[in-house]
Structure 1
Amino acid sequence: MGTGGRSAPGLPRLRAVCEAWIGYLERERTIFPGGCLFVTAAVEFDARGGAVRDAVARLLLLWRRRLAEEVRTAVTAGELPPDTDPEQTAFELIGLYMSLNQAVQLFGDTSAPERTRRALGRLLAPPPR
């Protein structure tokens, strides 16, 4: 679901993870057609009960918590504004990723990765100095 483990905790790691997400989806159409496995599984199984749905939900919840923790670390380090809500930011990051996946897969939108980078630049902007 992302890399960035070699980057410093907080904003550097969060940016690295987000860039890895974008890069994955930019290359995915030729490497792994059909879109992100986790997004596809979530859409396919979200309204169903059962073990697959529960496993997908568990993984995506862990991912959301991990993103929120990196945001929290960035806020504590002064890399993001002090009023940043980590859970809201993680929610928005996942929304950007799902939107990017749809734009690439459904519409073949080659501008979507750059649009996502611009949105991330706003969402992960450091506090004014």
Structure 2
Amino acid sequence: MSELVPSYRTVSRAPSVFPDRRLAARCMLLASLFLAASSLPRPAGAQSFPQKPIRIISQYPAGAIVDTLTRQLGQEMADLLKSSPVRYQFCVHAGAIHGYALPDRDIYDKQAAERDWEHIFAMFHRQIPAYAA
């Protein structure tokens, strides 16, 4: 029975006999301590979101339900986000009953369409960095 139970002498000699196991145990201990420390809660700095003004562009006729709801939404956003202004921009192509007229229509305005596409592509370049490349 005494042969099955390791003595102190056997345990104390184990690191000298198996140095790689000792190194592995140290690495595992350090890794577990690092993982435990990384999961501890730590204070996060408050982000000032958003840093730029919020711009709401409505491309529907003034007085329409979409225009009215968008203005109310913009006002509520301005009240909630006091740190950044909310700008409301009304943009309708001349003669169109909504924000965009197709090129084959007689009310098509090429300058307004190019302006709209410029805004759309600028938004893509800001939001999707890979798109800019």
When normalised by structure 2's length, the TM-score is: 0.28
Question: Which structure has the larger Rg?
Answer: 2
Indicate the structure with greater helix content. Answer: 1
User: Comparing both chains, which one has the higher relative contact order based on Cα–Cα distances under 8 Å and sequence gaps of 6 or more?
Assistant: 1
When normalised by structure 1's length, the TM-score is: 0.28
Indicate the structure with greater strand content. Answer: 2
